[in-house]
Structure formats: structure tokens, C-alpha cells
Amino acid sequence: PALRMAEQTRLITSANPDYRISIEGAREMIMLANIINESADAFQKLQHDVDGMISHSNRTLKEERNRLAALMSELPYGVIVCNRDGKVLLYSRQAQEMMQPADKKRKSGGSIGLGRSIFGVLERDPLVHALEVMNHAFTLDQAKPALGLMTKLCGTRFIRVNMAPVTSGEEGARVISGFVLSL
């Protein structure tokens, strides 16, 4: 009976969380089976609660993402959100229009897109320097810095860019996890 109970317990944890151990045998074995079944019930309820929270969080995240996209589409200037490596996470229609080459026949420079590098569209050095300045400001415990700069689009045009950091971490340890560019 102990080996059968062990196998049934393994069945609950690995393949079928709805399965419950059959209660039979000596009084101690019945007591152990009841405890295992109670634990399986608690585990199943916990798993159901976690699945519900994940589903709720995913719905909330999708709603917030849609709200942010709607808000960005209404801004009168271009906005690009990047991670700290320069990968584009989000951009507005206005930003996409501003990044188009002036002469559509001459494809000078890249185009903006999700997952693409911002450094394919804007010069790398001014943006990297601005990130270094912001990191230095954080090490000196300065207020959240925002920098304005002029940079060159890959090609021949220049654009005015305001850069603000996106931070992560706890209050005491501010770390730049990305940046927002307003054009």
C-alpha cells in the first residue's frame, strides 16, 4: 500500500492534479492518504488562483498597452521608446514620419520599426553620450535628468531630440533600463 500511495502521489504531482489517492489500508495509511489529498486540493486551488492572476495581469497589460498606443498616436510630436541597448520598443506615427528619408528615392538611412535599433536611424555617438551623462547624474544622486540634443539622422538631415531615462530598480538603486526620445 505504501508503494501504491507513493505512485498515486507522483501521478497527482506530475500528470493529473485532479486525481486523488484512494483511501484504504491501515489507520495510519488512511490518515496519510487524507493529508496527501488535502495537500493536492490546496495545490490545485493555488494553481487555479495563480492562473487567474496571470490571466488578469495579461488582460490589464494589454489594456494599458492599448491606452498608451492611443495616447502616443495623439501626441503632436514624435516619440520613440527604446531599451538601454537602443532597441525600439514603441514609437508614434509622427516619429515614423519624421524618420522617413527626405528624398524617398534615395533611401539614405534606415527606417524605424519595432525591435530594430534606433542607431540605424539616428547617430549613435550623441545618444550614447547622453546616456552616459544621465548615468553619471544618477551616480551623483541628481534629479531625474532629461537632455536636449541635436543629432543627425542617418543621411544629411538633423533633428532636435529630447531624451529622458526610463529607470528600473528600487528607490535606492536607480538604473537606466531604457530611454524615451521626443522629436
Poorest-pLDDT segment among 75-79, 99-103, 114-118, 125-129: 99-103
CB 77 within 8 A of CB 182: yes
Categorize the per-residue pLDDT at 172 as very low, low, confident or very high, splitting at 50, 70 and 90. Answer: low
Q: What is the pLDDT of residue 170?
A: 63
Poorest-pLDDT segment among 19-28, 98-107, 109-118, 159-168: 98-107
* Residue 132, CA distances (Å) to 106, 125, 126, 147 in order: 33, 11, 10, 11
Average pLDDT of 138-149?
A: 75
Q: What is the pLDDT of residues 70-81, one digit of tens each?
A: 887 788 888 999
CB 48 within 8 A of CB 145: no
Mean pLDDT taken over the chain: 85
pTM, two decimals, is 0.64
